[in-house]
Structure 1
Amino acid sequence: MFLEFINLLTQFDSGFGVLNYLTLRAVLAMLSSLLVSLALGHYFINKLHQYQIGQVVRTDGPQSHLVKSGTPTMGGLMILFTFIISSLIWADWSSIYLWMVLATAVIFGAIGFIDDSLKIKHKSSDGLSSRKKMLSQSLGAIIIGLWIILSIDNPLQTQLLIPFFKDIALPLGIFGFLILTYFVIVGASNAVNLTDGLDGLAIMPVILISSALALFAYISGNYNFSNYLNMPFMPGTGELFVICAALVGSGLGFLWFNTYPAEVFMGDVGSLALGAILAVIAILLRQEILLFIMGGVFVVETLSVIIQVAYYKRTKKRFFLMAPIHHHFEKKGISEPKISVRFWMVTLILVLISLASIKIR
């Protein structure tokens, strides 16, 4: 939207053309989403209080969490609002990548919104049934996957790039690509959802991974940089740099209110959408494997639940004191802020390892 206005201004003064630069638009997108989040945060939280949209805490979880009962939830609406508005202002509307990411945010945000609404309505920690949630996520993932195949003419689109190697890519074919897309989107969406159990625990990894994906987007969309660094050149993906920057700003703005002790929780409307957004950006950049590495914390959280359920069905005993694994550490007496910060540090290390793949090829 803003690009059209800039083009109009450049007709009067060519100096306005500087606002067309990708890097400047990315910085402005991040600042816009951050400042709007900070400006609207308290108003939004007060509205949640007013409409009694509060968190329902599991009674079988750590007892220290009982004091959080009633804390405003569905803060993910604020994240998505500032992210979408900032992206629409600073990104190029002619970019198909913009609309794919925003559609993902809306689809998975809607699923999370329904889930949160049912929890609040029934005053229970159970929202949508697992079957309905999985069906909705699957449908959303398939729609996005088909859209990517039908809209993007890129020979790399149906190949799986192997990081840390220069010219190694596995051909997937259209059917294989759809399967990969399905598992990456649904898996990432649920993984972030499972991780969102402590104050600030999920949002900081999202910020760090978004920052790394922004760098990959900038390099992939620039012929000179991608050629120099032996990375595939994918025209148009540079616009994802602006979108990732908007997501980083929205995440930082939310973290201001979500850090311990949290004034608001993101809810499923935030966690399901954020996981899917990261997945789609990684798919468009052909960096699914690096997303798996960078999101190691999300992966471990998900595996802990799978292991716990499978082990209990087999032995009628618990493998962990409680799953997801962050609750296991809480049960062992580690404080909530310490767990969150340590998980952030692990994510930072994994992100740096993934960024090293840019030069190690």
Structure 2
Amino acid sequence: MLYYLFRYLETLNFPGAGVFQYITFRAGMAVIIALLFAAIIGKQVIKKLQRQQIGEVVRDLGLEGQYAKKGTPTMGGVIIIAAILVPVLLLSKLDNVYIILMIISTIWLGAIGFVDDYIKVFKKDKEGLAGKFKIAGQVGLGLIVGITLFASDDVVVRERIPDEVVVVQAEDGTMIERPATKDTKSTVTNIPFVKSNRFNYSKVVWFLGDQAEKWGWLVFVVAVIFIITAVSNGANITDGLDGLATGTSAIIGSTLGVFAYLSSNMIYADYLNIMYIPHSEELVVFIAAFIGATVGFLWYNSFPAQVFMGDTGSLTLGGIIAVFAILLRIELLIPILCGIFLVENVSVMMQVSWFKYTKKRYGEGRRIFKMAPLHHHYQKKGYTESKIVTRFWIIGIILAILTIVTLKVR
């Protein structure tokens, strides 16, 4: 909203109004507003949750310090969602297709998580929203995102035309040759550690010949659904210790911010041989708000937590990360960047699968880990909660650096 106001003021030659045209300025403002909003409003929300007796329901898992968490306000994810949306609505171009998709994703998954928390807290049902309904909601969002990327004329990528060049004038007036490019609808995405740095989903159905490009979109949409479901559930599973999911998401968000800025800048994208995505610069503003919101929420969510985000927050954070990466065409970097979420997810799958297999074969279920997900395994081994969280953050930072390194290591 402020963006449109200042753009109008600029037409009236209002001093300083043009500063809103700079992505870096709006992104910086988004971080500050989101952080302050989460920190200031968070305190009021926590008090309200306490008055409403909306507290964490604790199950006996035999973990140290577990019962100290009983009654801690939950559903704090509403703080994160509000802290993201307020600066985005104020500072971004609201007619931008990427911003529209990110706002829909935030509200959509926030609503699913809210319903899940509501059932747990108010209906006293520890299972919450049935898994099939969660999956249905995630699949629904995947369809919205995938079909929009396929159908919207505003969603294009700029690709090089092989063996063609154009002559352009440099800043110093000299004429130079550059590779010719074109804006196109494409199922091409970035892939790490490969020289060409490109992967086309249509190659999955190469056997269809001339129809491969057309059916490649179906493969792409299926991939979008899978990624959104996997990452949002991964964040949900990771949210088991004070500040773990919040801090990890902030680290991931900062890395996505780097990629968003590079992918929206033609010069940097060309230099690094990554896909230039026209009109995606507004995503820098969104991810800046995301970073500010998670850091602001961490003020209250760090050990010992004064509030938990609940599924309202964790499903939303994971979904935002997944959709954001898909829009930037860096979804194949998710296994590296979101390695913490991946390992937590895999640890649960391994534990459950091995338990069922051994119970069927030997009549008694056996476990790989002392407890799943993985962070609880280390709790069972006697590590303190704050040490586990800090070490997971350190690993998250290492994975973030490795993700950025993929820009040059091919």
Tell whether 2:204 aligns with 1:161: no
Q: Tell me, in whole angstroms, the C-alpha distance in 2 between the residues paired with 1:242 and 1:93.
A: 11
5+ long unaligned stretches in structure 2: 158-183, 202-215, 359-364
Structure 2 residue aligned with 1:54: 55
Which letter maps to 2:228? I
376, 384, 403: which one aligns with 1:335? 384
Q: Tell me, in whole angstroms, the C-alpha distance in 1 between the residues paired with 2:224 and 2:387.
A: 34
Tell whether 2:321 aligns with 1:273: no
Q: CA deviation at 1:360?
A: 2.7
Structure 2 residue aligned with 1:232: 275
Structure 2 residue aligned with 1:344: 393
Alpha-carbon contact 1:191-1:298 (below 8 Å) kept? yes
Tell whether 2:112 aligns with 1:145: no
Tell whether 2:241 aligns with 1:212: no
More displaced 10-residue stretch of structure 1: 263-272 or 9-18: 9-18
Structure 1 residue aligned with 2:207: none
Tell whether 2:306 aligns with 1:263: yes
Q: Tell me, in whole angstroms, the C-alpha distance in 2 between the residues paired with 1:132 and 1:42.
A: 32
Q: Tell me, in whole angstroms, the C-alpha distance in 2 between the residues paired with 1:157 and 1:260.
A: 45
SS of the residue corresponding to residue 71 of structure 1 reads: coil
Structure 2 residue aligned with 1:76: 77
Q: Where has structure 1 moved over 4 Å in runs of 4 or more?
A: none
Q: Deviations over 1:271-312 (max 9, x none)?
A: 001100000000000111212211101000000000010010
Alpha-carbon contact 1:157-1:286 (below 8 Å) kept? no
151, 166, 171: which one aligns with 2:200? 171
Q: CA deviation at 1:356?
A: 1.0
Structure 1 residue aligned with 2:208: none
Cα separation, partners in 2 of 1:237 and 1:166, compared to 1, 3 Å = farther
Structure 2 residue aligned with 1:302: 345
SS of the residue corresponding to residue 83 of structure 1 reads: helix
SS of the residue corresponding to residue 64 of structure 1 reads: coil
Tell whether 2:354 aligns with 1:311: yes
The structure that has the greater radius of gyration is 2
Instruction: Name the TM-score, length of structure 2 as normaliser.
Output: 0.86
Cα separation, partners in 2 of 1:157 and 1:327, compared to 1, 3 Å = farther
Tell whether 2:128 aligns with 1:99: no
Q: CA deviation at 1:60?
A: 2.6
Structure 2 residue aligned with 1:358: 407
Q: Tell me, in whole angstroms, the C-alpha distance in 2 between the residues paired with 1:61 and 1:146.
A: 45
Tell whether 2:252 aligns with 1:203: no
Q: CA deviation at 1:61?
A: 4.6
More displaced 10-residue stretch of structure 1: 129-138 or 43-52: 129-138
Q: Deviations over 1:296-339 (max 9, x none)?
A: 01000000000010010011111111110100000000000000
Structure 1 residue aligned with 2:112: 111
Report the structure, 1 or 2, having the larger strand content: 2
Q: Tell me, in whole angstroms, the C-alpha distance in 1 between the residues paired with 2:312 and 2:393.
A: 22
Instruction: Name the TM-score, length of structure 1 as normaliser.
Output: 0.97
SS of the residue corresponding to residue 16 of structure 2 reads: helix
Q: Tell me, in whole angstroms, the C-alpha distance in 2 between the residues paired with 1:254 and 1:62.
A: 25
Q: Deviations over 1:2-36 (max 9, x none)?
A: 11111122223353212220001000000000011
Alpha-carbon contact 2:187-2:220 (below 8 Å) kept? yes
More displaced 10-residue stretch of structure 1: 311-320 or 246-255: 311-320
Cα separation, partners in 2 of 1:123 and 1:186, compared to 1, 3 Å = same
Percent identity over the alignment? 41
Q: Tell me, in whole angstroms, the C-alpha distance in 1 between the residues paired with 2:223 and 2:317.
A: 18
Q: Deviations over 1:224-253 (max 9, x none)?
A: 111122221111111111110000000000
Which letter maps to 1:125? K
Which letter maps to 1:313? K
Q: Tell me, in whole angstroms, the C-alpha distance in 2 between the residues paired with 1:156 and 1:133.
A: 31
Q: CA deviation at 1:92?
A: 1.1
Which letter maps to 1:273? T
Which letter maps to 2:401? L
Tell whether 2:331 aligns with 1:288: yes
Alpha-carbon contact 1:56-1:124 (below 8 Å) kept? no
Q: CA deviation at 1:257?
A: 0.2
Q: Tell me, in whole angstroms, the C-alpha distance in 2 between the residues paired with 1:157 and 1:259.
A: 42
Q: Tell me, in whole angstroms, the C-alpha distance in 2 between the residues paired with 1:220 and 1:136.
A: 29
Q: CA deviation at 1:156?
A: 6.6
More displaced 10-residue stretch of structure 1: 155-164 or 180-189: 155-164
Cα separation, partners in 2 of 1:204 and 1:157, compared to 1, 3 Å = farther
Structure 1 residue aligned with 2:210: none
Alpha-carbon contact 2:98-2:283 (below 8 Å) kept? yes
> Considering only aligned residues, what root-mean-square deviation do their CA atoms show, in Å?
1.3
Which letter maps to 1:217? A
Which letter maps to 1:150? A
Aligned residues: 361
Cα separation, partners in 2 of 1:236 and 1:49, compared to 1, 3 Å = same
Q: CA deviation at 1:166?
A: 4.2
Q: Tell me, in whole angstroms, the C-alpha distance in 1 between the residues paired with 2:408 and 2:367.
A: 43
Q: CA deviation at 1:359?
A: 2.7
Q: Tell me, in whole angstroms, the C-alpha distance in 2 between the residues paired with 1:7 and 1:128.
A: 44
Q: Tell me, in whole angstroms, the C-alpha distance in 2 between the residues paired with 1:216 and 1:99.
A: 19
Q: Tell me, in whole angstroms, the C-alpha distance in 2 between the residues paired with 1:297 and 1:23.
A: 29
Q: CA deviation at 1:145?
A: 1.6
Q: Tell me, in whole angstroms, the C-alpha distance in 2 between the residues paired with 1:166 and 1:220.
A: 18
Alpha-carbon contact 2:55-2:74 (below 8 Å) kept? yes
Alpha-carbon contact 2:109-2:316 (below 8 Å) kept? yes
